[in-house]
Each structure stands twice: as C-alpha cells, then as structure tokens.
Amino acid sequence: MATEPMTAADLRSALERVRAEVRQGVDRATAADLEALRIRVLGRSGELTVLLRQLGSLDASERPAIGALANEVRREVEDAIAARTAALHSGDLEHRLTSERIDLTAPGLPVRVGHLHPTLTVERELREILHGFGFEVFEGPEIEDDWWNFEALNIPPDHPARDLWDTLYVAEPGSWEAGAPRPAEDGTILRTHTSPVQIRAMERLQQPPIYVIVPGRVYRRDASDPSHNPTFMQLEGLAVDEGLTVGDLKGTLTYMCQSLFGPERRIRMRPHNFSYTEPSFEFDSSCGICGGAGCRFCGGDGWLEIGGCGMVHPTVLRNGGIDPERYSGYAWGFGIERMAALKYNVPDIRYFYENDVRFLETF
Ligand code: DAH
C-alpha cells in the first residue's frame, strides 16, 4: 500500500469529497443506508477517521486549518445523519397514524353471547311468577335419609316408592367392597322428590304464614323415556296458613300455569293418592300443540300431566311442628322439564339433557 504522506491540499480535497458525497446521498437514504454511511465515513476505519489520522504528518503550520475543516466536515456528516434519521422517524409516525387509524364511530363486532338452558329459564320464570304471590325460595339437601324423604311425609313402610328398585340408596359402608352391596342402615338416599323440604321449611320457619317454593334436582331409578329421566328438576311449593282451601291451591296453580304457558291453556285436576296430602290430585295442562283436541304430542288425550298436588295431610303438618287444628296447607310438586316441554312444545324431555347446541339455539 502506498505510504506516501498526503499533502495539505490532498487532505483538503479528500475532506471536501467526503462532504459532497454525504450531502448528495443523505436525503434519500433509508435507515439501513444511514447506518452503512455512518460506518463507512465515521466508523473506526471509516473514510473520515482515516483522513484524520493523516493530520499528524502535516506541517505544524498547516494543521490548524485542515483540523478545523476536518471537524467541520465530521459535524456536518453527523448532523446530516441525525436530521435524516429524525425525518425518517417522523415519516414512520405519519405512516402509522394513517395506516393504523381507528374509526371510533364504526359499529362493534357482534359478540356471540349464550343464554340460559331452557329448563333454567323456566325455573327462573316460575320463581318470578310465584315471588309475585309472596312465595320465597327455600332449599334442601339432595342427599336425604329415610325419615325426611318418606317417614316424615307419612309414606308408609310398605309404599312402593321405598322399593330398592325405585330409589337410589347409598350403600352401607364396606358392603360394596365386600361384593354384596346393601342400603345404608341409616337410610341415606338421593332424594326422590323435593317434598322432604316441606318438613324442613316448616321446622325452620316455625310460624305460619309459610309460603315457600323449592326448586331442585331429584333422583329416581327410572328408565329414561320421553317423559322420564333418572335425574330431573322439580318445583315444590308449600303454603301453610289459616283457612287455606283447595280453591287457593287451584287458583295459585292455574295462575302459575297460565303465566308460564299463556292464558289459553286450561288446567285439570284429577283425584289421586299421595300419603302426604288429603285430598290429592294429579295436575294436567291442556296440550299446547292441539289445544286439547288430541294429537300425537299428548298421546291423543289433549292433556299432559305436570305433577301432583293436594291439601297437606295433618300428620305432615304435625311432623313439621304445625298445629293442624289451627292451620291448613296446600302443596304441589311439578316437574320442571315437563313444564319446559309444555311451554316450548318439546316432544321428549331427553332433548334437554343432550346438550346439542342445534336444539339449544332454537330457544
Ligand atoms: N312428591 C310428588 C312426586 O314427586 C309430587 C307431589 C305430589 C308433591 C303432591 C306435593 C304434593 O307436594 O302435595 O311425584
């Protein structure tokens, strides 16, 4: 490499060339170009750096002027790079402001919101309707024993509901493991109806007037069919007050059904037998599809059964700590899925348990 020392004039023109070169290219430089330029001119072995090293070999009298020029060029290069960098950034900002503009007045994207399951919708509606009548919600356990589920309700020991084949008993500890399961000696079962909560409510609330409803899940050893399932929901109701009659029972339940199903629905009460009511009735609603004329949905009958009801048996009042000489009561226990099926004209309650969104989305 030529080591011929540069003269002051050589250095001066080399510095001016660097300056001209930078001035020329900087305006259109991209961020990457600027970085390359900085390294090529100002870097450790950059053009300007190399030229500055030559200063030492100049005559002392020439050094100040060339040194001053070199500093001037360096400052100009630095300033030009900084200015172009700033311009690029503000261009970026402008670009982003236009490309990322948000229109705050644009309508939002629709969000898919779910809704309550139809059985729950019906349960909530029933709460609402009966709340208007002064009934409050009272809840009880799903695991009961023989006393609460049967005995206290005046259900005799030989009643078929107590049969192993009708009721889900909890096994006596150890009997399952031993390969010979038998019902727990303390009679622990999954409740077969919400009626035991009648007794719990009377015991807890003590003084009539008592107006309670009990929504809840119940369990039976039922095979499932269009109107049965081993677990389902009931809405129990209990009113205890002075002078209540079958008229109050019928009026309340008629109002409840017509509020839920619509005023065109008729109701029917048929004599029945429950050991915890006297008299007892089965309660039917006219079919919503045929209006009572008879169709496939109601089996040609024109009526669909919702549940049972009656005037609370004096023994049951007494078991709840209420004086049957002074007070009377009425009670009912209706299936919520059956009521939902009646409201929405669903021919099979098993649809409610399948969780098929195509079915659920129709509500
Ligand atoms: N517990 C009955 C059942 O599950 C329904 C029922 C009938 C409830 C008469 C009542 C009643 O409160 O008074 O089939």
Residue 112: inside a domain: no
In this structure, which amino acid lies at residue 333?
G
Helix (H) or strand (E) run with residue 200 in it: helix 196-205
**At residue 274, does pLDDT exceed 80?**
yes
pLDDT of residue 265: 93
The residue with greater pLDDT, 91 or 154, is 154
80-94: average pLDDT: 86
Residue 229: inside a domain: yes
- Residues 155 and 80 reside in one and the same domain: no
- Residues 268 and 353 reside in one and the same domain: yes
- Residues 133 and 271 reside in one and the same domain: yes
Structure tokens at 354: 């399948």
Which of 47, 68, 99 is at the close of a domain?
99
- Domain encompassing residue 75: 8-99
Q: Is the C-alpha dihedral spanning 19, 20, 24, 25 positive or negative?
A: negative
pLDDT of residue 3: 58
The mean predicted confidence, pLDDT, of the chain is 92
pLDDT of residue 218: 97
Residue 249: inside a domain: yes
- Residues 167 and 23 reside in one and the same domain: no
**At residue 101, does pLDDT exceed 70?**
yes
pLDDT digits (tens, 9 = 90+) for 105-148: 988 888 888 899 999 999 999 999 999 999 999 999 999 999 99
164-179: average pLDDT: 90
- pTM exceeds 0.85: no
Site to substitute for ligand 1 among 199, 248, 276, most atoms within 8 A of C-beta: 276
Atom index in ligand 1 nearest the CA of residue 193 equals: 4
- Residues 89 and 130 reside in one and the same domain: no
Residue 76: inside a domain: yes
**At residue 164, does pLDDT exceed 90?**
no
- Residues 277 and 313 reside in one and the same domain: yes
Per-residue pLDDT band at 336 (split at 50, 70, 90): very high
Per-residue pLDDT band at 53 (split at 50, 70, 90): confident
Residue 350: inside a domain: yes
CATH number, residue 142: 3.30.930.10
Give CA–CA dist 353/117, Å, rounded.
10
Q: What percent of the chain has pLDDT over 90?
A: 61
**316 ligand 1 Cβ < 6 A:** no
- Residues 44 and 166 reside in one and the same domain: no
Residue 107: inside a domain: no
9-25: average pLDDT: 89
CB 283 within 8 A of CB 305: yes
**309 ligand 1 Cβ < 6 A:** yes
- Residues 171 and 270 reside in one and the same domain: yes
Nearest CA to ligand 1 atom 2: 333
216-225: average pLDDT: 93
Q: What's the number of domains the chain is made of?
A: 2
The residue with greater pLDDT, 335 or 288, is 335
Q: Can you list the alpha helix ranges (DSSP code H) found in 233-332?
A: 246-261, 314-319
Closest listed residue to residue 211, CA positions, set 246, 233, 234, 242: 242
Site to substitute for ligand 1 among 159, 194, 309, 336, most atoms within 8 A of C-beta: 309
Which of 49, 67, 99 is at the close of a domain?
99
- Residues 51 and 163 reside in one and the same domain: no
pLDDT digits (tens, 9 = 90+) for 300-316: 999 999 999 999 999 99
Per-residue pLDDT band at 297 (split at 50, 70, 90): confident
pLDDT digits (tens, 9 = 90+) for 233-266: 999 999 999 999 999 999 999 999 999 999 999 9
- Residues 125 and 173 reside in one and the same domain: yes
**At residue 55, does pLDDT exceed 90?**
no
CB 331 within 8 A of CB 247: no
